[in-house]
Amino acid sequence: MIEIRTADITKLDQIRALSDRFNLKIGLGSESCVFKLPKLDQIRKTANKIEHLSVITPITPQKHYEKMLKYIKALPSGIRLVVNDMGILYSLYNSNSTNNFYQIAAGRGIVHTSEACPWVEHLLRDETDIIKEAFLKTNLNYTRTFDLITNLGICALETDMEPNTVKAAVELGLPVAAHFEFIAVAYARSCHTSRFYNEQPPNCTSRCNTPIELQLADMFDLSGTPPGFAQPDQKMKEIFPTLYLLGNTVFMKSKCREFQGLERIIVNADMYEPDKLQHIIENI
């Protein structure tokens, strides 16, 4: 099963056309920005036409906490809710609101993996096999943590499509969805895109409908007198991959195509040019 999702409501018509043609699931919302959520009336209209629509809710700053809870509680029943914030999940559980949805999935904001680190191979090159195996599992592959989130209502997981990560997530026994091609490296509390364009949220939301490519240009050099920035050498450029900035999240491309055991594959439409989306879907 493939789910195509977006945080840009203007792409919904195209996504619905692809969904009808290829029998895709649809997801709307953002993992990491409260200002990229669709309006409730847009969600309701879409949910009336699409079975088990996924609504993705973000990592939530404290000042938006009450507003986010109110938003989630106003969502129509029968949707698949993706939660990326543990505080939000706990409050939903405490207010007996977790039974309002078809399914509640823990998103990447909750299901962390160290395999998404751009230089994970270099971090682990001198470690023992036991350390490597433990390091490359998800943070939910521990009994106490797993019991905690399932007791709070989580009944599905989302994670990055990396081989060890997918294997570890599938071992937990819940339905697992993995994000195709672009894996999440880091979330920023202070939005890089907003600062780059010098625009305060929500005025900047149109800036993060397509990714910005990032290349290593300077490095902080402690050996200089005084310490400052220096040009990276060729070896460092080879280690540092091309990264992609979308809103306040940094992504890295992954060549992994580990589909075994997955309940669904997630394609983020916002990472691609609109005319390339059909080609991506056809080739998964």
Looking up residue 268, the CATH number of its domain turns out to be: 3.20.20
Residue 29: inside a domain:
yes
pLDDT of residue 229: 81
CB 140 within 8 A of CB 111: yes
CB 158 within 8 A of CB 5: no
Tens digit of each residue's pLDDT (9 = 90 or more) over 63-109: 999 999 999 999 998 999 999 999 999 999 999 999 889 999 999 99
Comparing CA positions, the residue from 89, 87, 86, 106 lying closest to residue 159 is: 106
Residue 226: inside a domain:
no
Residue 143: inside a domain:
yes
CB 106 within 8 A of CB 81: no
The residue segments making up the domain with residue 118 are 2-187+248-282
pLDDT of residue 72: 97
Residue 48: inside a domain:
yes
Low-confidence ranges of the chain (pLDDT < 50): none
Name the pTM for this structure: 0.92
- Structure token digits, residue 110: 């909750």
- Structure token digits, residue 273: 């040019």
pLDDT of residue 16: 94
CB 185 within 8 A of CB 113: no
Residue 229: inside a domain:
no
pLDDT of residue 134: 85
Residue 88: inside a domain:
yes
- Structure token digits, residue 186: 């880091």
Residue 209: inside a domain:
no
DSSP assigned state of 256:
-
DSSP assigned state of 74:
T
Residue 239: inside a domain:
no
Total number of domains constituting the chain: 1
Tell me the C-alpha distance between 3 and 13, whole Å.
Answer: 15
